[in-house]
Chains A and B, each alone.
Chain A
Amino acid sequence: AQSVTQLGSHVSVSEGALVLLRCNYSSSVPPYLFWYVQYPNQGLQLLLKYTSAATLVKGINGFEAEFKKSETSFHLTKPSAHMSDAAEYFCAVSKSFGNEKLTFGTGTRLTIIP
């Protein structure tokens, strides 16, 4: 069975500072990994996905994530935080990219300090 663990339910960073949101996965097969963002009172939007083509994945809004098999991690980063990045972020895993069965982490709420 697949699972993901997101370390830190709340993260606060200053505007302009590095954003680092942590995600570790557990999977019995090579995983497909995803980061989603949820703005208040909205649905989820895909930020980026890892499907084994490249270990460093670039997504929308300046975010990127690196798949590290040795560390079973898929941490999300952004070099410089913007106020508009304030949202909740979810890491998710699937054993196929048909992906009708996503397993989500518990989420990390990102707050940006002016």
Chain B
Amino acid sequence: NAGVTQTPKFQVLKTGQSMTLQCAQDMNHEYMSWYRQDPGMGLRLIHYSVGAGITDQGEVPNGYNVSRSTTEDFPLRLLSAAPSQTSVYFCASSYSGLADTYEQYFGPGTRLTVT
């Protein structure tokens, strides 16, 4: 299994540009999430999905859109990038199995700079 993969690893955008951060998992997990990591603030939840066709907002959803058309993929869209969206973005997936075997798996991250 490749686990959780994210592309690209690095991206530089100009203010106002749009782009999509890709996330895919091959573990057949129901749940997928997007977090952003900023210095001194830990990770904050942007959007999450509990299954194909079902998404919901997290703590910091403004400026981001998501959709989940398949179990495997959960792209994050920035419609009009702003410098405040400069961050490291992590995708994660998990399943609602037994507590003893439960784990949320994280991708390697995408480092985004908006100038």
Contact = CB atoms under 8 A, between A and B. Distances in A.
Q: Majority SS of interface residues in chain B?
A: strand
A11 to B, nearest CB: 15
Interface stretch (A14-22, A74-82, A104-112): A104-112
Contacts of B96: 97-98
Interface of A is mostly: loop
A104 B94 contact: no
Contact of A42 (B4, B94, B103, B108): B108
Interface residues of A, number: 27
A97 B42 contact: no
Most buried by B among A46, A92, A99: A99
B90 A104 contact: no
A101 B35 CA distance: 10
The 8 closest A-B pairs by CB, nearest first: A51-B99, A43-B106, A104-B42, A100-B31, A44-B106, A104-B43, A98-B96, A106-B42
Interface of A: 9, 32, 34, 36, 41-46, 49, 51-53, 90, 92, 97-107
